[in-house]
Amino acid sequence: MCLPVRGDHGNLLVFGPGEALRFNLMDFEMASGADTRELTQCLLTVGEVLRRGKSDSGGSEGRFWEHQKESALYNDIDVVRKGLGKLEIPAIQRFIIEAATSPEQLKDATWREGFHNQVMRKAYMARKQSAVDEADLLQAVEFWTKFWPSTDAKLRGSILAEVLGVLHVFNTGYTRQLLCTSTNVSPAVMDKGKWVLVDMPVPQYGAGGAFCLASWKYATQRHVLRRSGRNVVPIILYSDEYQNVSNSFDATFAAEARSHSGAMVVLTQSIHSILGVMEGRTGNSQAKALLTNFGTKIFHALGDQESAAYASSLVGKSLQTFTGASMAPATDVFDSLMGPSRISGNFSQRHEQILQDNEFMHGLRTGGPPDYAADAWVIRSGMPFSNGQNFVRVAFSQKGVKPMRASLNHDAAFAMAMAFLDIVKPCLGRRNRERCFQSSIGSAWPALKGCICLKTVRSDA
C-alpha cells in the first residue's frame, strides 16, 4: 500500500469494486486534449494486456493485422466522437457492429435509419472542424461506405474479432462500471499530493482486473508526460507482478519520465517474466530496451542463471590478476631432498566479471525468521554509491511494518511500498540519501507526494 509521505492517511484513495470511485478513461483522455490517433493508441495499448500468453507470429503478417485493427478502430472513433460530441465505449462497439457489410445494405432503408448511418450523418452535417479534421472525417466516411462493405467477409470478420476483443472487456463486468460511467477521480488528483491504490488483483478479477490496472497505468503515464515545469509534484507508478500490466508504451515513459518529475517502480520474478510478455520477433530487444531505461535495479535472490547473468552484466568487467603455480616432476631421490626448488609461479591478467553470477543466486537471505531481513544487490546507472561503485549489497528489514487499514487487507502492498522507501537507509550515508532519490525519480525526495500503486496480486497469496 502506498502511504503519503507525511502520514496523512486521508490522502489515500482506493479504486476498485466495492469502492465509490469511478474513472472514465476516454473522457479523461479527451479532456486532456487527446486527438483521434491518441485515443486509438490508448485503447490498443491498454488492450495489450489481454494478449498475455497468446502466441504471436510477428513479422509482416502480425503487423498486417495490427494495422488493419488500428485502421478500423481509428475510423470508428473519429466518426463517433464527431457525431455524438462525446466518446462512449458502448457507442464505439455498436457503431462497428452495425456497419454495413455489403454495398447492397448501404441502400437498405432500415439500415439507413439505424445507429451507424445516423451517427455518420450527424458527424458529416456537424463538420465545423479544421481542414485536417474534416479531411479525416471524409476519409472515415469513405472507409465505412466503400472499403468495409466490399472487404472479403473472412478478412472483415477477423478484423472485427480483434477490435471487439478489446471493446468487449471494456463493456462488461466491473470494467464497464469503473471505467465507462462517470468520473470522480483521475490521475490529476496526484498533482495535489493524493495517493491512489488500484485494488484489482489479476488472480481474482482476471482480464477485467488487468484491463483496469493497465488503464490507470497508461492514463497516469500520459498525464505525467503532459506536464511541464519544475514545480510539479513528483509522481511514482508502483506495480508488483509487473508482467501482468506491461505494455509497449512503458519504454517511452521510462525514457522521458524524469524530465517530467515522474518515475516507475516495478517488481517481477525474473527477466523471463518480462521476455515472456513481449510479442513478436523483436520481443527480446523490446524487453532489453525497456530494462535499460530503469536507472536503478534491485536484485533479490534469483532462481535462474539467465537472470543472474543479466544482473552480473550490469556491473561489468574489470581487469583482474590471477596467480598460479606448478611443480616440475622429480628426476631422482637426491633432487627431491637436496635439489633446487621445482615450484614455479605465474600470473596473468584478463577482464572478468566483477560480480559472478552465483553472487545473485546464493548467500542472500530471503526474509522470515530468524532475521526477518531480505538481502539484495542494488545496481544503478551513473552516479556511484558511497562506496565509490555503482553497486552495493543491502538488507531490507521486514520488521516494524504495520497495516494502515486492516479492513482493506492491503498490508502486503503496504509492506512493499515501505520496503522501497527504506532503501535509502542501508545503501547510502545520510548526506547521499536525498541524492539517491534525486537520481531515481528525477526530483528531491522531500518533495515526493503523488503516487499510484497497482495491486496485481492478492494480499493473502
Q: Write out the three cell numbers for 357.
A: 553470477
Amino acid code (one letter) for 105: Q
Amino acid code (one letter) for 431: R
CA atoms within 13 A of residue 247's CA, in its CB half-sphere:
24
List the strands of the sheet with 296-299, edge to edge.
Answer: 296-299, 373-380, 391-397
Entry pTM: 0.79
- Phi and psi at residue 156, in whole multiples of 5°? -65, -40
Q: Using DSSP, state whether 260 is helix, strand or coil.
A: helix
Please report where in the chains the cell 543491502 appears, as a residue.
394
CB 307, CB 379: distance < 8 Å? no
CB 349, CB 319: distance < 8 Å? yes
Q: How far from each other are the two terminal CA atoms of the chain, in whole angstroms?
A: 15
pLDDT the model gives residue 342: 67
- Domain locations in the chain? 26-174, 307-315+357-447, 317-353
Amino acid code (one letter) for 190: M
Mean pLDDT to the nearest integer, 316-330: 78
Quick: pLDDT tens for 167-193.
Answer: 999 999 999 999 999 999 999 999 988
> Would you tell me the crossing angle of helices 153-170 and 59-84 to the nearest 10 degrees?
60
Q: Using DSSP, state whether 347 is helix, strand or coil.
A: strand
- Could you count the other beta carbons within 10 Å of the beta carbon of residue 104? 10
CB 11, CB 195: distance < 8 Å? yes
Please determine, for residue 424, whether its predicted confidence score (pLDDT) is greater than 80: no
DSSP 359: G
Amino acid code (one letter) for 326: S
Please determine, for residue 34, whether its predicted confidence score (pLDDT) is greater than 90: yes
Total residue count of the chain as it appears in this document: 461
Distance between CA atoms of 342 and 335, rounded to whole angstroms?
A: 9
Please report where in the chains the cell 545520510 appears, as a residue.
430
CB 68, CB 77: distance < 8 Å? no
Distance between CA atoms of 107 and 114, rounded to whole angstroms?
A: 12
Distance between CA atoms of 290 and 247, rounded to whole angstroms?
A: 10
Q: What angle do CA 119, 123, 125 make, to 5 degrees?
A: 115
Please determine, for residue 78, whether its predicted confidence score (pLDDT) is greater than 90: yes
Distance between CA atoms of 138 and 274, rounded to whole angstroms?
A: 41
Higher pLDDT, 397 or 306: 306
Amino acid code (one letter) for 320: Q
How does residue 83 score in pLDDT terms, banded at 50, 70 and 90?
very high
Which positions ≥6 away from 266 have C-beta within 8 Å?
Answer: 238, 239, 240, 242, 246, 294
Q: Write out the three cell numbers for 9.
A: 492517511
How does residue 38 score in pLDDT terms, banded at 50, 70 and 90?
very high
Quick: pLDDT tens for 221-251.
Answer: 999 999 986 778 888 888 888 988 888 899 8
Which positions ≥6 away from 154 have C-beta within 8 Å?
Answer: none
pLDDT the model gives residue 118: 95
